[in-house]
Amino acid sequence: MSILSLPLRAVRTLSRLGAIAIFTTAIVPAGGVALPKGDVPDGSRVLHVGTGRAITTVAQAAGVARSGDTILIDAGDYVGDVATWAQDRLTIRAPSGRVRIIANGKAAEDKAIWVTHGTDVLVEGIEFTGARVPGRNGAGIRHQGGKLTVRNCKFYDNEDGILTWNDHSAELIVENSEFHHNGAGDGQSHNLYVGEIHKFTITGSYSHHARVGHLLKSRAEQNYVMYNRLTDETTGRASYELEFPSGGLAYIIGNIIEQGPQTENPNMVSFGAESYRWPRNEIFLVNNTLVDDSHGGGTFLRIAAGAQRVFAINNLLLGNASFAVPTGGQDVGNVVANRREVAAPAGFDYRLRQDSILAGTAKDPGFANGVALRPDSEYVHPLQTRRLRKAVYSPGALQRLAP
């Protein structure tokens, strides 16, 4: 008899006895999804979750999973299906369509829809919505482990989209994911809030319409914010679009960053506002498109005194905000563009036109701390990146020129 034909009570019993371990390659139900080669790590058990399966809820899967397992969740809504993941080397994926986890008043550990404690955890293709807790920092995911990768996920209507702990060895990687309408409305919770961890990387992602809080806030020691769209847009009320309150190393390359007319704070990118807490505090602002749509005119870049290095190069500036690099910093090739020089600013298409005098005028940014500063990709909406070909190199995040 297959484990898939057993009642859930029997599955739980087998799990306690260790019997499930005999399925060392995969638990694959009849009619299950065939994954492309490489989607399941070699030697991994595969646990399927869904209506009619032996395991019907995510919480049950979290209870029986072992380190190294792959969890495949059938498409659908999972209401109140909060979970704590303690295992390492986990892959949690939605292979057959979007999976939506709706908090519905529940929270794992009174913290989040999901809490991750392990390392080398991948979460892919999941939506998280509705997280609320008494402390007003309920997260879609609360990361309290080693390395977590979040790919192709969405976080909306939570008090925080993702919130991490402050362990200095932890890492968070976010790829091709969307964050919107998160925040408790108190300015203390954000679309994405990274604590004092070792390393944070975000690429190909879209953060917008935070509720009073920031589109992205990170206290990490190393930050790689590359090829994303961080835009408040017409009705957004976010505070900072991008903040590094504790300094650290910040590589901000190839992003579209826009401040909307209803912003709660005139500063767009902020560095070191709550004092520098890392041994090295350097910011590299390279080939970004910075757009100020606020009514009063804001500040593109706010750097607190004490940063060891500020290097701003090839940024394309649109709007009335001020742009100033502190004394001792490097301000190279940052240009203010007329809105007529870009394709369709009202539609957030900020590609330079082919006839723009700015096309092809970018400077070579070189390297910093062994990191190549010249962008090799650009953001493509929604939630994609495209590799760049060596051609015309222009200021701003978007290298394809508009007709």
What is the predicted pLDDT for the residue at 171?
99
Is residue 31 exposed (0-12), middle (13-18) or buried (19+ Cβ within 10 Å)? Answer: exposed
Q: Is the pLDDT of residue 303 over 80?
A: yes
Block residue for tokens 């080669």: 37
- Structural domains in the chain plus CATH codes: 40-333 (2.160.20.10)
| pLDDT band, very low/low/confident/very high, at 297 (cuts 50, 70, 90) | confident
What is the predicted pLDDT for the residue at 39?
64
Mean pLDDT of the 155-162 span: 98
Mean pLDDT of the 256-265 span: 94
> How far, in Å, CA of 275 to CA of 141, rounded?
27
Residue 102: CA atoms inside 13 Å, Cβ hemisphere, count? Answer: 6
Long-range contacts of residues 54-63, Cβ cutoff 8 Å, at least 24 apart: 54/3, 54/4, 54/5, 54/6, 54/8, 54/11, 54/27, 54/29, 55/8, 55/11, 56/8, 57/81, 58/83, 58/101, 58/114, 59/83, 60/8, 60/12, 62/86, 63/12, 63/15
Q: What is the average pLDDT value for the chain, to the nearest integer? A: 91
pLDDT, tens digit, 9 for 90 and up, residues 21-72: 323 333 333 233 344 444 677 668 999 999 999 999 999 999 999 999 999 9
What is the predicted pLDDT for the residue at 48?
98
| pLDDT band, very low/low/confident/very high, at 245 (cuts 50, 70, 90) | very high
> How far, in Å, CA of 303 to CA of 267, rounded?
10
Q: What percent of the chain is modeled with pLDDT above 90?
A: 87
What is the predicted pLDDT for the residue at 400?
96
What is the predicted pLDDT for the residue at 43?
67
What is the predicted pLDDT for the residue at 41?
73
Full-prediction pTM beyond 0.95? no
> How far, in Å, CA of 195 to CA of 118, rounded?
17
Q: Give the alpha-carbon dihedral of 238, 242, 245, 251, to 10 degrees.
A: 170
